[in-house]
Amino acid sequence: MPARSDRVTSALQANRPTQETTQPLNPNQAVVPQPGRRRKLHMTAPATQRTQRNKGLGKRKVLVIVPIVVLVLVFLAIAIYFIKQLIDSKYFFCTSSLRFIPIEKACDGKKDCPGGEDETTCASNLTVTSTFPVRLVTNLSVLQVYSNVSGWRSVCSDRWTQQHTQTACGLLGYTYKPLGASVPVSSLAGALKHGPFAAVKPGTATAPTDQATADSTACGSGSVVSLSCSDCGQVHLQDRIVGGKDAYIEDWPWQVSLQDDGQHTCGGSLVAPNWVVSAAHCFSGVRKELKSWRVVSGQTYMASLGGSYVDKIIVNGQYDPVLSDYDIAMLRLSSPITVGDSRRPVCLPPKALGLSAGDTLTVTGWGYLRENGQVSPSLQMAQINFIDRDTCSSPQVYGSTITPRMICAGVMAGGVDACQGDSGGPLVYDSSSKWNLVGVVSWGDGCARKGQPGVYTNVDEMLNWIYTVMQKNP
């Protein structure tokens, strides 16, 4: 008989599984993996959950990190902007030597930068002694040309073409869909009926208007040329200047704010997409460095950010800061504004528009709401009256201080007037459904005082200078 040990061995061999199984022999006993043995684990569902959980964590991290990065960048941008503003308000950067000089040394007449750039980007003066050769006269906007021999002559409509209209309007600044019309000589006022006249020479449609004409004793057609050069001065009027009321920029779209280092300093008037008329006294003292100025347009409420850069400030060379005579300046914008409902030039008036005492004028601005007060956060407008020269220059008002370059407007009883902060802003008159710039806020004795109306630069007397500035600086 085989020994017991052999039977046990045979029995065990007889009961040995023929295939290896992965099932534990004792389901209740944990299986400890052995080193070096691989186990094929079917864990698909739990792995997907872990991946989704990781993705969720990643998304949450992104959602947290991105806003933080954006906030940091915004903070840095704001900090850089205000640091630059602070530096620019205190120092001028000399690009040639890469150093700073005190802002007071810029535009002081001395070259403090080695390259002299501190004296090249400054307000300049221009005195005009010549006569601009083209103008419009009276409320009919009759075209006249000038020659040293014959003086001013009204242009006959004989042989006048649309190209002549385009050329003449181009000389007068802002041009948009210019129109020419004929006005009977018999309808002209006073001496204009009797000439002198000028007639267009054949083949001169593109020549400068004054060179395209020759003297004529009469107009064969019996009519002269009247021009409407643009859509200037057109608004859809809706109805603080002291005693004024709230206004909307769409009603006075030529009104702009001149800002020195972000601070409203003066008003101004768009007279072309890239030209602003203001007052010379706004640029007295240290306010002559171009980069510190911005022109903010199209805003009812005062804003200090943005605005147009300025590449020229030209002050009338005859400006007298003591007498406030010739108180006018012009600013050329680095880029023209886009004309629209809230930004549109005002019309430069025809010569001898013919204002009469009592005519209603409008003044606008963000200036003080009362004498020694503070600027208004929103645009204000006030209707005032034109005051004739005899009254304004009487001893009881301003006497001999009123020159031909000044006009007066206000309410003699007081209560309504321009004030500090309105300087350089527009005084306008509605003629034939177009608003004309007849005055520039200049000076006055206090604000809205009885018997002390506002004094404005007389634009009629400054037209020759204005047109010459624009022609010399296209």
Report the catalytic residues: 281, 327, 423
Residue 309's DSSP bridge partners are 294
| Residue 156 and residue 223 in contact, taking contact as beta carbons nearer than 8 Å | yes
Is residue 459 within 8 Å of 352, Cβ to Cβ? no
- Give the 3-state secondary structure of residue 214: strand
Handedness of CA 442, 445, 449, 450 (dihedral sign): negative
Before 377, cis peptide (omega within 30)? no
Token readout for 223 is 């009519």
Return d(Cα 257, Cα 246) in angstroms, integer: 16
- Give yes or no for a contact between 265 and 329, defined as CB atoms under 8 angstroms apart: no
- How close are the terminal C-alpha atoms of the chain, in Å? 131
The count of residues in the chain is 474
DSSP of 335-377: SPPPPBTTB-PPBPPPBT----TT-EEEEEES-BSSTT--B-S
Q: How far apart are CA 118 and CA 105, in angstroms?
A: 8
Helix, strand or coil, per DSSP, at residue 80: helix
User: Distances from the Cα of 28 to the Cαs of 23, 35, 39, 42, in angstroms?
Assistant: 11, 22, 19, 20
Residue whose entry in the numeric block shows the structure tokens 């003449």: 168
Q: Phi then psi for 75, rounded to 5 degrees?
A: -60, -45
State the Cα–Cα distance between residues 16 and 33, nearest whole angstrom: 22
Distance in angstroms (rounded) separating the CA atoms of residues 331 and 245: 28
Chain center to CA of 452:
32
Residue 301's beta-bridge partner residues?
Answer: 378
The CA-based diameter of the chain, rounded to the nearest angstrom, is 162
CA distance 102 to 167: 47
- Compute, in degrees rounded to 10, the torsion defined by CA atoms 464, 465, 469, 472: 60
SS3 content of the chain, % helix, strand, coil (to 5): 25, 30, 45
The Cα 13–Cα 6 span in angstroms is 10
**CB under 8 A, 24+ apart: contacts of 26-31:** none
